[in-house]
Structures are given as C-alpha cells and as structure tokens.
Structure 1
Amino acid sequence: MITARRAGAVAVALIAAQLVVRAVLVAWGDFYWDDLVLIGRASSHSIVSWDYLAHSHDGHFMPGAFLVAGVSTLIAPVQWWLPAATLVVLQAIASFSVWRMIRVIAPRQLGWGLAALAFYLLTPMTVAAFVWWAAGLNTLPMQAAMAIVVANAVILVRDRPDERRTRRLLIGAVVAFVVALLFFEKSLFIVPVAFVAALLVVRGGTHPAPEGDVDYRRSPLTQTFVRARTLWLILGGIFVAWTVLFLATSTATAGSHSIGQTFHLVWRTVNNAIVPSFVGGPWSWSRWTPSPPMGFPSVWMIVVGWLLLVAVVLVTVKVKRGAVAIWVCALGYAVGAQIPVMWNRSSENTALELAQTMRYLPDAALVLTIAFALLAAAPRDVGAHSADITARARPVAAVGMVGGVLVAVSALVATMAYGQSWRDDPTGDYLANARASLAQMDGKTMFDQPVPLEVLLPVAYPNNMISRVFGGLRKRPDFGNVTDDLQVLDPEGRLARGAVIGLRTFSPSRGSCARPRIDGPTELPLSGPLMDWKFTVGFSYCADRDGVVELRLEGGSPVEAPVRAGLHALYVQLEGHGTDLRIRPVTPGLRLHTGDGRVGEPAVAALVP
C-alpha cells in the first residue's frame, strides 16, 4: 500500500506535469471568438455596472467571468499573456482541489486514487474548455468548487467533525459554491453531485457503529441529510435563489429547439467524445475556421472505448459493493448533463459535429473521477471469492498499470494534436498586427470596421467592430465619422490606404475650383436610391477658406466636418437613405466646389476598382 506521503509526492508531480502541458497549450493559443466579445463589452461598459456583469452572454449568466475579463482588459488590453496565466492558475487550483477530494473519499486506497487523479489530469474531455479563455472562465471555477464541496460534504457526513472544523467546512463549501455560480450557472449541478457523492459514501461505509448511536440505524439517505443538514439547507437556498435569478436574466431558452436534434447531439457526444476518451482519444482533430477543433475518433477507438467501459463496469460490479449505484449515478450524469446544453443548441441548423468539440464535458470528466474514487474506496463485495480475488490481484494490477500508461500516452497524443489544431487560427496574428497598426494611428481619426469573418462573424455585432475589440488600447486612433485620410485594416490587420466602394456615385457640383458655387444648402443627386443604412461618403473638394460644412442623407442626422482652404479629400460616414447627398456650409462666407464622389463602404484601396 502506497503511503500518504509518497502518494502526495506523486500527485504533485502529476499535477506539475499537467500544468506544463497546459502552459504549452495556452502558449500555442490566443484569443478566440467569445473572448473578443468579452473584451468588446469590457471596453465599452463600466466593468462594475449591472448592465455589464449581468449581461446574458449566449444564454449564460456569468458576472464573475465578466469581471475577470474586464479587469484583464483594463490591465493588459488584447494581450494574451494575462488570460493565459489566468487559465493556468485556475487549472492549478482545480487540480489540487481534485486531489484533495480524492484523498478525502479514498484515504486508504491512494494508489487507485492516483489513477483517478491521472484520469482527470490527462483526459481530453477537459482540454477544449481549458484553452478557450471564455470557456475556461466558466468551467475551471466550477471544477474546483465541485471538488471542494464534494470533499467537505463527505467529511461532514462520514467523519462528523467537531464544531470548529464543521464551521470551516461549511464556510469553505458555501463560498466555493457561490464563487462557481458567479462564473457559470451550470455550477448549480454541484449541489446534487455533492449530495449523491456523500450518500454513496455513507451507503458503502464500513465504519463500526458506536455503541448506543441511533444515527447508524437510520437509512443512508436520512444519515446523509441529517449529518450535514446545515450545509444542504444553505446550498439549497442558494440553489433556488440563483435559479430564479438565472431565469430572470438569461436568454438561454430563446430560439428554436428540436427534441430529435437534441437526441442526436447527445448520442454523438457520448459515442464520439466521451467513449473514445476512455482510451485517450481522439487523436484526429479537424477545424473549420472559425469553429473550434472537432474530434474525429477512429472506429477502433470507439469500439475499444466501449469494450473497456463495459469491462471496467463488469469487474467493479463483481468485486465492489455498491458499484452498481456508483456507475448508474456517474454515467447518468455524464449523459444527463448534456441534455440541457444540447437542447439549447438544437436548432435545425446546428451541425452534429458541435458535440465533438468536447467543450461541454469537463464537469462530466470530474464526475467520472469522483466515481473512480468512490469505487476505489468501496469495500469488496462479501459475496465475491476472496481467495480468487487475492490470487488475481497482482496480474490484474499489472495489466491495469500497463493499460493505464498506454491510455496516458494516448491522451497526451490527443492533447498535443488538439493543441496543434487550435494553433491553426488567424486570430492571434490578426490581433498582433492590428495592435501595431492602430498604434501608428494614435491621435488620428479612423472609421470603425468589423474584424475579418475568420476572426468573428457579424452575428456578434457590435462586438465584432474594431472600436470594441481594441477600445481598451492605450495607443489607438479615435474612432469617428469624419477624416481626410482614410486608413483601414486589411484582412491581416495591417494598416492600408482606404477607398470607398461606390454603391452609388455623384457628379461634381456646379462651378469649379476657381469659382466655387456651393455657398448654401445644396443637393447633390446620387446615381441611384439608397436604402436606410450607414454609408461612407468620399469626395474631393476645393474650399476658399478653412471652415465647417454639414452633410446629411434623408432621414439621417447631420454630421459636421472641417474643411481646409485649397484642394483636399473628405470622407464622412452618414446614416440615412434617399436619392441625394445634402451639403451646407456652416462657416459664414465659406464657398466650395465638390468633385466626383462615391457613397458605399470603405475598403482597402488596392482592392477597389
């Protein structure tokens, strides 16, 4: 039997190795999709306002995640090193919390407990939600809190500690639960998971009953509730209150849903994501930018995963008392926890490959880890043949160790393959180029524009605009609607001279530069009508003096723009519609002549015909 000290040293080494691998993954990565949405909201709102913290982000209520994202944006706007460090630190907290939980559940079976820890540390089920900052801010606090609450609940119902320690355990569990809820509403699942884990510990316990203690005559369910009633009542109250708050603020149920699509997504999650992970898969990942990587396990990996799962279940059911209940609860959670998530994603247009991104599985991996710890701690079935079990223990252990090493190597292969696929993304290069480009425009005026489709799709508007994504930078242009030097970012994020794609054009005004005729309200006819939209107007002009002119489209607000004496160019963004551009000198005595003009969208000049 491995000693607690040696087990602790091995656990620390395993966690350190995991953190090195995870650090490599985040070093390969960068911001992705929702990360930029969080940054965009942080740069356009007060990060301590309710409007910012309580925003329903894709159906999630996550004020804690918004706060961390806001603080990170203030400290190091659009710089990956701080979010990367945040992920590694959160992972360290979660991993050590899981090891503490395993030691609490199975203090006499630390060898098997280390195997359970290795599963949690290495399984590909936790990788996808780790490298993605927005997802990691959701799930890593949940993992840490679930481990803390489960461990504290088990101590309360099994060991019945003294009053002082009980108070510490209660406070620790409640604080962990509330913190997890601040980051992810799915943390509500912590309460039933902790209660069931504590119940299974009591149900399978072998502690002799103290003489005269009537508590041991009660059912395991009653014992579990009574021994930690204060914990369950507090957590239950928070559960109900937070559920009401979530339903009042979230848009999770919006949109169309399909029962059939939900079933297919859940099955795909189980068969193509969870089951292959039991053998360390999948090894193959494919990415359709801008989607995250999707795992495509080989058929043999799925088959071997099912066979291994069935074999482990049959063996543990035969030799461990209470194994059936443990497996029913664990596998029931692994499947059942996917139903609400996939229901919210079950529109007719949802691709089944969504289930193979594996970003919804970290909590399922942790629940399976809890199950492995419970199985390790469970006593042997008295109906089993002890002599046969003892005789076969060593070869079975040897086979299990070899198999475990192979699965660990397989999991590392899958993790590195995922990291390489995740690395194949244009976002990081675009952001780096854009930061440098915008710094060159510091103090100047630049028109707003969306980031490329490969970085963030228009459905994220207005958080897909560069004024939102880069709004927190110290050195950047002022984003306005008037400039005499049109500069834009090209698809790689580099600064380029801009021009207007002419959806409509207009001819020169009456007169000439020598005899400018615009000295009052004037309408410049367009080559065709405009629908109601925001347009960029670009034209050359000659003015007889410095001054200000006013421009507007029908139905839109007027915009004032400065002009300079002589021949120059002017670019103005206007909202509205109609068949003409209206211009009026504001400065008394100002006269000007306008040349050919275009009304449309700004673009890289080299690409405009």
Structure 2
Amino acid sequence: MTGTHVRTGRTTSAGTAPAHDRSIPHWDTWRHDRVIWAAAAMIVAQLAFRAWLTYGTWFFGDDFNFVSRMVNEGPGAALRQYAGHVMPAGMYLSWLADVIAPFDFRVNATMLLGMQGLADIGLLVLLVRLFGSRPGILPPLAIYLFSVISVPVAIWWAAGVNQLPMQVALFWGLASHVTYLRTGRFRSAVAAAAWVVAGLAFFEKTLLVLGAFAIVGIAWFASGSLAHRLRTLLRERRAGVLLYVGVGLAYLAVYIPVGLTFSPGRAGNDALPQVVSNVVLHGYLPGVLGGPLQWDHVDQWSLPAPGPLGLLLAVTAFVLVVRELARSRRRALRALWLPGFFLACDIALVSAGRASFVGALISLDYRYQGELAAVTAVALACATMPILGATEPVETTRPSPLLDRPQRVSALVALISLLGVVSSLQYVHHWDTTTQARPYFRTLFASLDEQEQPVPVVDTIVPTSVMLGWSYPDNLLSHLLQHYPDRIAYPDAATDHLNMVDHRGNVVPAVVPDTRRGRPGPKPGCGYRVRSRPVTIPLDGPVVFGGWWVRIGYIASGGSPVTVTAGDASYDTTVEPGVHALYVRGGGRFDRVHLSGLAEGVSLCTDDVTVGRPVPRTEFSP
C-alpha cells in the first residue's frame, strides 16, 4: 500500500468515509469472543490484585496537602498550581473523599480502582479498535496490566489521581482518534479532544497524548516523506488537526502563567546524563520486562536498582526484541516513536522541574514515568500487528521464531507478568511497612477518643515523615483536623497544662525550653510585682521567626483578668490565685513580655519567665 491519501476503514478513495467503522464490533460479537473473555479475565485479575494492594495502603505526603488546601482555602484553591501541577479535578476529588469519610483511605482506593478499571477497559477497546479481536492483543495488554511501573500511581492517591486519568485519556482518546483517521467523522475527533481535555483537568502531562495522536497519524495513516505525511494529514483531516492544535495551545496559554514553576531551559543541566540513565536504563527497561526485582530504599520510596546483571539482561532483551521486529516486520520500528517520545518528555520534565533542584536521584522514582507501561503496550501492539485501515500497516516479511510462535510468546509474557507481580509486591511491601502517617494518626485519634472534652494542644506541624516541612501551613494540625472541632482545640493561652502531639501521635504535656529567660526582677522575693499598672519584663535576648510560647510561673493573691503581650501577639486571659503557670503564644519577633490589666487589689509576683518553642515531654532533652 503506497498511496499517500489517508485511508478509511475500508479501501476507499481519499475523503470518502464509510457508513460504519467495522473495527468496532457489536456487543453480540463480543459476548461470544474468546479473546475478549480472556482479556476480561486478565483485567479482573489485575483489578483484584490492585485492590488487594491499594486497600492495604494509606494516605501519604501530598494527599494531606490536597485535603488541607481545599478544606481551609475553599473551592478556588483547586485552580492554583501545586508543585507545578494544575489539577482542579484531582483537588475536587480529594475534597469529595474527605467530605464522604475523613481519613478513610477506602474511599480514595475505590476511586483509584475505578479509574484503573476505566483505563483497562479503554486499552482493550483501543486494541480491538486498532487490530480487531485477535490473540495478539493479549500480550501488550498483559504488559500494561502487570508492570510495576504503574504500581506507585495505583497505591498513592496524589500520584494516581494525576496519572490514571492521563492513561484513561490516552486509551480512550486514541480509540476515538483512530476512528477519526479511518472515517473522517469530525465527531470522533471531538470525542478524542474531549478525552484529552478531561485528562488535562487532572494532569498537565496529558498534553503529551496529543503527541501520541500525531505519531499514530503520521506513522500509519499517511505515507511519503515526513513533510508529505504532514501535508496529507492536514489536507485530509484538517478539522481534527486544527482542533487538537487549538486544544494544546489553549491549555498552554492557561498553564504557563498559572502552573509553570520552572524554566524549561534547565532541562540541560549537569544532572541530565544521570537522569537519562536513571529513567531509561535503571527504570524503564527493567520495568517493562518484569523487573527491577531489586530496590534501593529512601524513606518510604523504593527506587529501582536492577544492578549490573539486571541492566545487562534488560538491555539484551530489549535489543533482541527490537532486532526480531526489524527482521520479521516491515514498518515495525516506527512504533518506537511512541515510548521514545514519552521518555524524552519525561526526561526533560524531571530534569528541569525536579532534578535541577534536588538532584538526579529523584528521576528513579517510577511516578515520573507512570504512563510508560501504557505507552509501551500500545507501541508493542503497533509494532507486531497491522492496524486495520492503515495506509501503511505493519507487514510480516519473514516468520519470526519468537513473534510468530504463540506458545513462546505466551510463555515469555507469562514470565514477564509474573516477575512484574513480584516486583510490585516488593514495592508495596516496603511502602506499607515504612509508612509513618497511618500509625501517627491512628495513635492521635485514639488519644483524642480517650478525652471527654476537646483536648487543648499546641497548633504545630505534623512530623516531616507525614508531610514535608515546605507544606506549611497545610501541615498544621489545625488545618488537617478541621473535621474534629469537638475533639481537639488550639488555645493561644493556657493555665498549668499545655499539651502537644509527639512524633508518634501521642497527646503529651508540652515543655517550653528556656531559649530565652526573663531578666531577674527588682523586688527581692518577688521579682516583678504586677498590679493594676502594666509591667514590662525584658528577656535576655530577642527571638524571631515565630513559633514561640511564653511560660510565666507566678503566685497571685487572687483571680483576675490579665493581658499578656509578646511582640505583635496580645491575649486577654486570666490568672488564678496561688502558684500557677501561664502559657501564651508569642509573636514573630520580641525581646520583652508585657503584663497588664490586673484587677484592683490583685497582685502577682513572677521571676520565672521562659520563652521557647514547645517540645513534647517525651522528646525533651534538657
């Protein structure tokens, strides 16, 4: 087939669209199709496996940021960028899950599984749409279903709510796009664009799906030189091309001023060679071939570490498969443009947006190439089977001792899938056994449940093992526990007892270390005598940057209102008769404490004023 026109579902002249795309089988056909039933069984098995993995995990890191931002800042917060992401739909789903059942990951897990199921079905529809119902669609389906590359996005809400919708958009959008290339029906192009727009509401990287549209059209639905192929597509499918370009440009016009937080020029930084090696050799190749089977662990993350032997096996297997494709299939290697395009984009994005700030090690994280299992499955199918209605379909030039031997293919794919399951279990086991968030909140809620009244605690940040420090103020207890006003309170002043939540989630007494102390008072045996007139107690040095509390040990002749001022913070509270300690939250910068407002006839003595950032007693070292 050497014609230069865009080909439709049947052999027709350019511009002629058949009444029906015959690659779309009727349900009656699917019901009795063994290949479809086998594919459905594989999808059910994968979803059952993923359910077992996902329901056993819990929230982590960014998951809490999403909820905290939405609860505390309102719906408009979903439209702001988050670490370079613009993901309003993901933010709203995070908010919805929190409204349904706060801190119940089962709601989020159900959403993740729903998105995974939609992606799985989308890939099956795409494969049938491209190649018909034939046994050859099962191996690429298995590669996608059981690769470890997509496991992080299956178990971590913050990653999955971005990338699973992207995979949905890739599969369903490509299915509609292929129908458009065959038939010329503009409504199919509109459907393809709509899938992309839906994916963009979750993840800006969905824009790369338009690149997949272009590659499929150029590689298999036109012929001649690259320039000639582009002219052909623009001539025969102009409306769709302009629609896709319009969607891409419109999104960039919004995303660049709102969400772009790094310079694309930083992609060429010194870390680039290591990023390329990490993404392609250590991550991608072992991942699509069942590996890596060995991991390096950094806190809760597992990073692929296939080792020299694993690298050698992965590269050798890849070279042999490519060689077999080149020897036995005509036009097969153009399918490599699909994973090549996504790999190049992933490398550029992680190099410029992450590695340039924190180092190349982060590029080993599979979440930065979470779509590669999906893309590779499509590419493998396109390299081995002819696309129905394509202008330049793949053709078998000679029998392949591997590709054309179903038993060998089945055995190899079964082995790769089994190894992928093993790698997935390794990844999830480390994720589950090292998580700090679940035991922290489990202990905290148990501590709160023991109290009949709201527990007063210092409003401080949760441990960095739960949320990173840069998350402030989203990582404050008051921001995270908005749904529990009847169980926890955050006073600015307290008498005798001040509580904190320690790094394990226990509610324990707080200690105010003496970072600064009040200078000795002038009254022997009293220090500073406070009556109705204000008294200023100078400190032995200034404090800055906030987070300070003031502890005032005193003896008072009676109960009375009192006003305590420390920098720009001032509180009206009370003193009790006898010996007590008053705690108040200080301002951002101060070097003295003011006491005023005592009732007539009440006096107070203090020579015990300390200022420090509170520490749980269980973690205090004098």
Structure-1-length-normalised TM-score = 0.88
1:89 and 2:101 aligned = no
1:180 and 2:199 aligned = yes
Query: Once the two structures are superposed, what CA deviation does each residue of 1:330-384 show, in whole Å capped at 9, x if it has no partner?
Result: 324323432122221132641x332222111122222211112212332887683
Q: State whether residues 549 and 583 of structure 1, in contact with CA within 8 Å, keep that contact through their aligned partners in structure 2.
A: yes
Question: In 2, Cα distance between the equivalents of 1:531 and 1:195?
Answer: 56
Q: Which residue number in structure 1 is paired with residue 461 of structure 2?
A: 450
Q: Which residue number in structure 2 is paired with residue 106 of structure 1?
A: 131
1:38 and 2:47 aligned = no
1:75 and 2:78 aligned = no
1:339 and 2:348 aligned = yes
Q: State whether residues 403 and 409 of structure 2, in contact with CA within 8 Å, keep that contact through their aligned partners in structure 1.
A: no
**How big is the shift at 1:11?**
1.3
Query: Secondary structure, in 3 states, of the residue corresponding to 1:558?
Result: strand
Q: Which residue number in structure 1 is paired with residue 438 of structure 2?
A: 428
Which letter does structure 2 place at the counterpart of 1:536?
W
Q: Which residue number in structure 1 is paired with residue 23 of structure 2?
A: none
Query: Secondary structure, in 3 states, of the residue corresponding to 2:96?
Result: helix
Question: In 2, Cα distance between the equivalents of 1:364 and 1:606?
Answer: 46
Assess, with a 3 A threshold, how the Cα gap between structure 1 residues 583 and 323 changes in structure 2: closer, same or farther: same
Q: Which residue number in structure 2 is paired with residue 215 of structure 1?
A: none
Q: Which residue number in structure 2 is paired with residue 268 of structure 1?
A: 278
Assess, with a 3 A threshold, how the Cα gap between structure 1 residues 319 and 254 changes in structure 2: closer, same or farther: closer
Q: 1:561 aligns with which of 573, 581, 584?
A: 573
How many residues get paired?
579
Q: Which residue number in structure 1 is paired with residue 477 of structure 2?
A: 466
Assess, with a 3 A threshold, how the Cα gap between structure 1 residues 463 and 199 changes in structure 2: closer, same or farther: same
Q: State whether residues 536 and 592 of structure 2, in contact with CA within 8 Å, keep that contact through their aligned partners in structure 1.
A: yes
Q: 2:587 aligns with which of 550, 558, 575?
A: 575
Q: State whether residues 462 and 476 of structure 2, in contact with CA within 8 Å, keep that contact through their aligned partners in structure 1.
A: yes
Question: In 1, Cα distance between the equivalents of 2:196 and 2:403?
Answer: 41
**How big is the shift at 1:152?**
0.4
Question: In 2, Cα distance between the equivalents of 1:145 and 1:383?
Answer: 31
Q: State whether residues 548 and 613 of structure 2, in contact with CA within 8 Å, keep that contact through their aligned partners in structure 1.
A: yes
Query: Once the two structures are superposed, what CA deviation does each residue of 1:124-176 show, in whole Å capped at 9, x if it has no partner?
Result: 11112222211111101010011111110101112446xxxx53x34432332
Q: State whether residues 448 and 467 of structure 1, in contact with CA within 8 Å, keep that contact through their aligned partners in structure 2.
A: yes
Question: In 1, Cα distance between the equivalents of 2:276 and 2:486?
Answer: 47
Q: Which residue number in structure 1 is paired with residue 307 of structure 2?
A: 298
**How big is the shift at 1:540?**
2.8
Assess, with a 3 A threshold, how the Cα gap between structure 1 residues 473 and 26 changes in structure 2: closer, same or farther: farther
Q: State whether residues 330 and 396 of structure 2, in contact with CA within 8 Å, keep that contact through their aligned partners in structure 1.
A: no
Query: Secondary structure, in 3 states, of the residue corresponding to 2:516?
Result: strand
Q: State whether residues 543 and 566 of structure 1, in contact with CA within 8 Å, keep that contact through their aligned partners in structure 2.
A: yes
**How big is the shift at 1:183?**
0.7
Question: In 1, Cα distance between the equivalents of 2:264 and 2:273?
Answer: 18
Question: In 1, Cα distance between the equivalents of 2:194 and 2:182?
Answer: 21
Q: State whether residues 528 and 579 of structure 1, in contact with CA within 8 Å, keep that contact through their aligned partners in structure 2.
A: yes
Q: Which residue number in structure 1 is paired with residue 538 of structure 2?
A: 525
Which letter does structure 2 place at the counterpart of 1:88?
L
Query: Once the two structures are superposed, what CA deviation does each residue of 1:406-454 show, in whole Å capped at 9, x if it has no partner?
Result: 1111101000000111112212111222233345565343221111122
Q: Which residue number in structure 2 is paired with residue 362 of structure 1?
A: 370
Question: In 1, Cα distance between the equivalents of 2:484 and 2:238?
Answer: 51
Question: In 1, Cα distance between the equivalents of 2:545 and 2:402?
Answer: 77
Query: Secondary structure, in 3 states, of the residue corresponding to 1:492?
Result: coil
Structure-2-length-normalised TM-score = 0.86
Question: In 1, Cα distance between the equivalents of 2:592 and 2:525?
Answer: 20
Question: In 1, Cα distance between the equivalents of 2:204 and 2:316?
Answer: 34
**How big is the shift at 1:271?**
0.6
**How big is the shift at 1:585?**
1.9
Query: Once the two structures are superposed, what CA deviation does each residue of 1:246-265 show, in whole Å capped at 9, x if it has no partner?
Result: 11112421699452212321
**How big is the shift at 1:44?**
1.2
Query: Secondary structure, in 3 states, of the residue corresponding to 1:436?
Result: helix
Question: In 2, Cα distance between the equivalents of 1:493 and 1:365?
Answer: 38
Query: Secondary structure, in 3 states, of the residue corresponding to 1:582?
Result: strand
Q: Which residue number in structure 1 is paired with residue 502 of structure 2?
A: 490
Question: In 2, Cα distance between the equivalents of 1:480 and 1:198?
Answer: 63
Counterparts of residues 231-246 of structure 1 (less than 5 Å): 231-246=240-255
Counterparts of residues 175-214 of structure 1 (less than 5 Å): 175-203=194-222
Question: In 1, Cα distance between the equivalents of 2:594 and 2:131?
Answer: 79
Q: Which residue number in structure 1 is paired with residue 143 of structure 2?
A: 119
Assess, with a 3 A threshold, how the Cα gap between structure 1 residues 383 and 37 changes in structure 2: closer, same or farther: closer
Structure 2, unmatched stretches of 5+, are 1-28, 388-392
Question: In 2, Cα distance between the equivalents of 1:535 and 1:255?
Answer: 41
Q: 2:339 aligns with which of 326, 330, 339?
A: 330
Which letter does structure 2 place at the counterpart of 1:503?
T
**How big is the shift at 1:58?**
0.9
Query: Secondary structure, in 3 states, of the residue corresponding to 2:410?
Result: helix
Query: Once the two structures are superposed, what CA deviation does each residue of 1:84-103 show, in whole Å capped at 9, x if it has no partner?
Result: 22211111111111111111
Q: Which residue number in structure 2 is paired with residue 280 of structure 1?
A: 290
1:599 and 2:599 aligned = no
Question: In 2, Cα distance between the equivalents of 1:548 and 1:321?
Answer: 89
Which letter does structure 1 place at the counterpart of 2:468?
L
Q: Which residue number in structure 2 is paired with residue 8 of structure 1?
A: 36
Q: Which residue number in structure 1 is paired with residue 565 of structure 2?
A: 552
Q: Which residue number in structure 1 is paired with residue 167 of structure 2?
A: 143
Q: State whether residues 297 and 303 of structure 2, in contact with CA within 8 Å, keep that contact through their aligned partners in structure 1.
A: yes
Q: State whether residues 39 and 468 of structure 1, in contact with CA within 8 Å, keep that contact through their aligned partners in structure 2.
A: no
Question: In 1, Cα distance between the equivalents of 2:563 and 2:264?
Answer: 43
Which letter does structure 2 place at the counterpart of 1:295?
P
Counterparts of residues 531-546 of structure 1 (less than 5 Å): 531-546=544-559
Query: Once the two structures are superposed, what CA deviation does each residue of 1:283-330 show, in whole Å capped at 9, x if it has no partner?
Result: 1223222x5221111322221211111111122222223112222343
